[in-house]
C-alpha cells in the first residue's frame, strides 16, 4: 500500500492536497501528459490515482486488470531487471 499518501496521526486519512502535490512534484510525475497506474491487482494503484488527481493531474488512469492480467498473456511484452 502506498503509505506516503496517508497521515499516521490523528485520523490515518489522506495527506493534505499540498503534501500530495509535493510528493508527486519531487518525482516529476506531474509533468507527464498521461499516467497509467497498475499494481498486482490494481487495488493500491487506485490510492495513487486518487492522490494524483487531488494533486491536480488531469489524465490519470488505472489499468483494471493490472499486472495480474497482463502477465497471464504470454503475447504481451514484459521485462524484468534480471
pLDDT tens per residue, range 55-80: 999 999 998 888 888 888 999 888 77
Residue 4 DSSP label: G
Asked if the structure places residue 80 within a domain, the reply is: no
Please give the model's pTM, rounded to 2 decimal places.
0.74
The domain of 22 spans 3-71
In angstroms, the Cα distances linking 60 to 6, 21, 50 are 19, 14, 9
Is 47 a residue whose pLDDT tops 50? Answer: yes
Number of domains within the chain: 1
Asked if the structure places residue 50 within a domain, the reply is: yes
Asked if the structure places residue 82 within a domain, the reply is: no
Asked if the structure places residue 21 within a domain, the reply is: yes
Q: Which three three-digit cell numbers place residue 2?
A: 502506498
Domain CATH code at residue 33: 3.40.250.10
Asked if the structure places residue 66 within a domain, the reply is: yes
Facing residues of 14 across strands? 6
1: pLDDT confidence band, cut at 50, 70 and 90? very low
Amino acid at each position: 500500500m502506498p503509505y506516503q499518501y496517508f497521515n499516521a496521526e490523528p485520523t490515518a486519512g489522506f495527506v493534505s492536497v499540498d503534501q500530495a502535490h509535493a510528493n508527486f512534484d519531487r518525482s516529476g510525475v506531474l509533468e507527464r501528459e498521461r499516467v497509467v497506474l497498475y499494481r498486482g491487482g490494481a487495488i493500491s494503484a487506485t490510492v495513487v490515482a486518487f492522490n494524483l488527481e487531488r494533486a491536480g493531474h488531469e489524465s490519470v488512469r488505472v489499468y483494471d486488470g493490472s499486472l495480474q492480467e497482463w502477465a497471464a498473456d504470454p503475447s504481451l511484452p514484459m521485462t524484468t531487471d534480471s
